[in-house]
Chains A and B, each alone.
Chain A
Amino acid sequence: MGKRIVIPGDILSNDIKMSGSGTYVADGAVRAALYGLMNKGDRYISVIPLAGKYIPQPSDRVIGVVTEVAYSNWIIDINAPYDGLLHISQYPRRIEIEQMSSYLKVGDCILTMVRDVDAGMKVELTLRDKDRELRRLSEGRVIAINPTKMPRVIGRSGSMIRLLKSAIGCNMFVGQNGRIWIHGNDDRVDLAIQTVRYIETNAHTPGLTDRVQAFLNAKKKARFGKTYENENEEEW
């Protein structure tokens, strides 16, 4: 299913009610605000960007890195033009200000959620959630891809990420901010990273799932030979 490439200013529709994300209305027409792919739905026309920065929105799950421990707040780099603030009260348990560094120190990676973004782009984060999924990432590796490619790594209803996890045999989390956490033994993490890079490079080509499957098969044969399958079973 091909999609048309549009460039800023292109007229997408004369029905101004159709204006969706990545578009604007001028002179009675819906126009593209971005260089990207036109996505025509039943109710809205939007433009899917091909590049761009991550801009935080409430309830986004992101991977952050602690860059500073300030008074009652941890300052978190979230791969955005804005720093995130994690207030001491948003840590899952009650801790004292003097103890902050012993729970989260500079350089630590966390899986966190955007709680609120105000008009001045103050980004508040939290580590509190019901499922206890938000946490410090004490193991594993974190890589970054362009945030606009992130939907392809996840796939439709999570199909791509499921394929990666099961075929490679490692644990992964894809943050909305384009950072990906991968955990498993070294060889598998390496393969996972190669596969993510492959998806990133081929993000807008047809039949991506099949190609990724073929890529993985070829890599697995070359890297692990026969032993890989057995090893896989042991751990899973």
Chain B
Amino acid sequence: MAAHRTVISMSDDVMVEIQRDHLLNLILKGEREDGRAFDEFREISIKTGAIATADGSAHVKLGKTELVVGVKIQPGEPFPDTPDKGVLITNAELIPLASPEFEAGPPREKAIEIARVVDRGIRESKSVDLEKLCITAGEKVWIMFVDIHMLNNEGNILDAASMGAIAALLTAKLPMSQYGMGEDIPLPIRDIPVAVTVVEFGGALLLDPSRTEAAIASTSLIVITNSDGSISGMQKSGSESLTFEQVLQAVDMAKAAADTIREKFLDV
């Protein structure tokens, strides 16, 4: 946020700032501005197959936060150190259409962090069986581009991006026919990692921060958990520290939320 703050949208930031005490008071009373419980998500909607030009796609709405994830898959050269494995490349575009605080230009810190954390979850969970994406060892493998395209930022981009990425991959097809290699086949997916952001705010831990909550909370912990309850990625983000207990509690909260999201929205 801070990097964007100086340029535009003073009024927005000003409004967030003057809500700080009020939000903090609410939290102390155990309440949130939109009446949700601390561990309650906004309404989630995931629509897959939204983009016909993509090999897999998902249109995610998390409350009013909205984004599209598109997966493109094409043959290319493997990395020299993994000659027999497919390649996963994740990118996030916080385009200026999505919010007054976003600017055009190459991805900045925040967009890069989002892309890398989402990437880590998929990669570390070994969700996509990269070995099955080898066409000719050392020469040709499938390269998957996961592009996260922000449409409307009302907070908690990361969780929405994570849901979108895995939903798009789950429905993606290897475009075999396009390259004269036979029928299109589904991507080999083995696990469904889900990232959940837990923000620390006034000593309390909250899930699915709204835009104002996210702007005011200085610190969050992102926890990526898998179907068997294992963790495949974590990231502390923000300028404050978290206590030992907070971290443990955050992991529990994230896992419980991830289980629900997986069961309700990513069950294919």
Q: A residues touching B (Cβ–Cβ < 8 Å)?
A: 65, 67, 77, 79-80, 83, 107, 109, 141-144, 186
Kindly state the separation between the CA atoms of A67 and B11 in the bound complex, as whole angstroms: 10
Q: Chain A contacts of B11 at CB under 8 A?
A: 77, 79-80, 144
Kindly state the separation between the CA atoms of A65 and B18 in the bound complex, as whole angstroms: 9
Q: Chain B contacts of A143 at CB under 8 A?
A: 15
Interface residues of B in 1-49 (CB under 8 A from A): 10-11, 14-15, 17-19, 22, 25
Contact assessment for A77 and B22 in the assembled complex, using a CB-CB cutoff below 8 Å: no
Chain B proximity of A178: nearest CB distance (Å)? 10
Q: Which residue of A lies closest to B31 (CB)?
A: A190
Q: Chain B contacts of A107 at CB under 8 A?
A: 17-18
Q: Chain A contacts of B18 at CB under 8 A?
A: 65, 107, 109, 142
> Within the complex, which residue of B10, B19, B22, B25 is in contact with A67, where a contact is CB–CB below 8 Å?
B10
Contact assessment for A144 and B17 in the assembled complex, using a CB-CB cutoff below 8 Å: no
CB-based A-B contact count at 8 angstroms? 22
Chain B proximity of A207: nearest CB distance (Å)? 27
Q: B residues touching A (Cβ–Cβ < 8 Å)?
A: 10-11, 14-15, 17-19, 22, 25
Kindly state the separation between the CA atoms of A136 and B25 in the bound complex, as whole angstroms: 22
Chain A proximity of B50: nearest CB distance (Å)? 27
Q: Chain B contacts of A65 at CB under 8 A?
A: 14, 17-18
Q: Chain A contacts of B14 at CB under 8 A?
A: 65, 67, 77
Q: Which residue of A lies closest to B22 (CB)?
A: A141
Chain A proximity of B188: nearest CB distance (Å)? 47
Q: Chain B contacts of A77 at CB under 8 A?
A: 10-11, 14
From DSSP, what is the main secondary structure of chain B's interface residues? Answer: helix
From DSSP, what is the main secondary structure of chain A's interface residues? Answer: strand
Chain A proximity of B83: nearest CB distance (Å)? 56
Contact assessment for B15 and A144 in the assembled complex, using a CB-CB cutoff below 8 Å: yes
Most chain A Cβ neighbours within 10 Å, of B10, B18, B19, B25: B18
Chain A proximity of B11: nearest CB distance (Å)? 5
**Additional 16 contacts, C-beta under 8 A, given A142-B15, A144-B15:** A65-B14, A65-B17, A65-B18, A67-B10, A67-B14, A77-B11, A77-B14, A79-B11, A83-B10, A107-B18, A109-B18, A141-B19, A141-B22, A142-B18, A143-B15, A186-B25
Kindly state the separation between the CA atoms of A67 and B9 in the bound complex, as whole angstroms: 12
Q: Chain A contacts of B10 at CB under 8 A?
A: 67, 77, 83
List 8 tightest A-B contacts by C-beta distance, closest first: A65-B14, A77-B14, A79-B11, A77-B10, A144-B15, A77-B11, A142-B18, A141-B22
Q: Chain B contacts of A141 at CB under 8 A?
A: 19, 22
Kindly state the separation between the CA atoms of A77 and B16 in the bound complex, as whole angstroms: 13
Kindly state the separation between the CA atoms of A109 and B14 in the bound complex, as whole angstroms: 10
Kindly state the separation between the CA atoms of A143 and B15 in the bound complex, as whole angstroms: 7
Q: Which residue of A lies closest to B29 (CB)?
A: A186
Chain B proximity of A173: nearest CB distance (Å)? 15
Q: Chain B contacts of A186 at CB under 8 A?
A: 25
Q: Which residue of B lies closest to A177 (CB)?
A: B11
Chain A proximity of B231: nearest CB distance (Å)? 38
Q: Chain B contacts of A83 at CB under 8 A?
A: 10
Chain B proximity of A165: nearest CB distance (Å)? 20
Kindly state the separation between the CA atoms of A83 and B14 in the bound complex, as whole angstroms: 12
Kindly state the separation between the CA atoms of A203 and B18 in the bound complex, as whole angstroms: 26
Kindly state the separation between the CA atoms of A65 and B19 in the bound complex, as whole angstroms: 12
Most chain B Cβ neighbours within 10 Å, of A77, A144, A186: A77
Q: Chain B contacts of A109 at CB under 8 A?
A: 18
